[in-house]
Amino acid sequence: MPVKSLPKKLVKRLRKVAGQIDRKLGLMKNIDHRQTWINRPVRPAHTTKAWGYRVREMNVQRNFPKTELVIKRTHDMPARELIQTLQEIVQRHNRQFTPDTYVLIEPKAVPISAELVAMAKTNAPSVDEILFQGIRQGTRRGKQFFEKLVEKNPGITTAALDEAAGKVIARTGIEFGNLLLLGVKKGKFVFMPLVDLE
């Protein structure tokens, strides 16, 4: 469940070669979970500026074998400002509220250029992936993740998740699709915002 911080040495290297990463980003594997929800003509796979195409996996296993790296292109806001805004939202929430059903933690992401953010990969699904149906269907990954959580934490339900996530959304403005469920700790849902405000 814990989301790792990136090694400082890796962050330093990424910042040094951010221009090259930017040019090659479209060639990296698209791991944006929202790509399956795109209800419009398919864009070229190499685009990285459209919704559902901005999150890519970068292989750094040779030099950092324990690190799975994700690079995300930001939009509407510079990378540093986006991360600071999300940190402030979480900090403000945690000062104002002491929820008994969930914990909200800050995203562990770093800006490596004006538009690019780097973070360790997590397999945690968004709340959207677990709860929603219809056009924005929950994903198999989300449903399987929640089923495993229920096995380990009997008594948790999708209704309880919906209620807890609803409180986070009402208190922070973070949307279901941008709220990751990392797990359950001491009977509380552990949420973390994605590096996105849209």
Beta-bridge mates of residue 189 = 102, 184
Res 135: pLDDT: 45
pLDDT tier, 45 (very low <50, low <70, confident <90, very high otherwise): low
Mean pLDDT of 97-124: 94
Mean model confidence pLDDT for the chain: 86
Res 36: pLDDT: 55
Describe the strand order of the beta sheet including 116-120 as a list of residue ranges. 29-30, 55-58, 69-73, 116-120, 109-111
pTM of the model: 0.86
Mean pLDDT of 60-82: 91
Q: Which residue has the higher pLDDT, 138 or 78?
A: 78
* pLDDT tens sequence across 17-44: 999 999 888 888 887 766 555 545 555 5
Res 134: pLDDT: 45
Q: Which residue has the higher pLDDT, 29 or 165?
A: 165
pLDDT of residue 91 exceeding 80: yes
Distance between CA atoms of residues 71 and 110, nearest Å: 10
Burial 66-105 (b: 16+ CB within 10 A, else e): ebbbbbbbbeeeebeebbeebeebbeebeeeeebeebbbe
Beta-strand relationship, 188-193 and 102-104: parallel
Res 27: pLDDT: 85
Res 190: pLDDT: 97
pLDDT tier, 176 (very low <50, low <70, confident <90, very high otherwise): confident
Distance between CA atoms of residues 66 and 51, nearest Å: 29
Ordered by start, the domain boundaries in the chain are 8-193
pLDDT of residue 110 exceeding 90: yes
* pLDDT tens sequence across 133-161: 544 556 778 889 999 999 999 889 999 99
- Residue 113 is classified by DSSP as S
